[in-house]
Amino acid sequence: TWWIRQALQRAVQQHGNTIRVPMEVAEQAQRVERLTWELAAELRREPTPEEIAEASAVDESAMKSLSEVARVVASLDQPAGSDTGTPLGDLVGVDEQEFEQEVERQLVMDQVRRAVDRLDDLARDVVRIRYGLDGGDPASLQATASRLGIGVRRARQAEARALQELATVPEVEAALRAA
């Protein structure tokens, strides 16, 4: 029966939290928490961090990190209170300047993506992969050619043709001026 309990605990540790914590860390945090409860019962008071560290053979800085692991993560979409329907995320402050810059960046990226979508298939694929517009990291010309199953020379030509064509698109031109 111990292996059933262990399998259940591991499943909860792996899938029960919003943020996945490595198994060893979760188990160590669980041991420290259990030890804290045992010390509290034995001492008939809340044990000090020094007492817990000594009993668990874990230094105090690691103890602090382990206590951070056990914290609850709240969804920003959940209601802020039982009496209101306001999502928690609506109450969290936002740095206005950073927000504006991010919105501007997203608008420029949308304009560039729309312009890239109008390119021919090969040029579009080369630009997306080469500049990371497909959601991945930007790739070298060699990696782009390899991924598309074409030669480096053909990829370079497609990229040059695409960049020439994009330079004439008014939205891209305006986005480049704004950037």
CA 176 – CA 38 distance, rounded (Å): 64
**Do the domain assignments include residue 81?**
no
Element containing residue 85 per DSSP (H, E): strand 84-87
Residues 123 and 62 in one domain: no
Band (pLDDT 50/70/90 cuts) for residue 148 is very high
For residues 130 and 168, state if they share a domain.
Answer: yes
Check whether residue 10 and residue 53 sit in a common domain: yes
**Model-level pTM?**
0.45
Q: Is 142 within a domain?
A: yes
pLDDT over 80 (residue 13): no
φ/ψ (deg, to 5) at 79? -60, 145
Residue 11 sits in which domain range? Answer: 2-69
Q: Which two tokens stand for residue 121?
A: 């298939």
Total structural domains in the chain?
A: 2
pLDDT at 178: 60
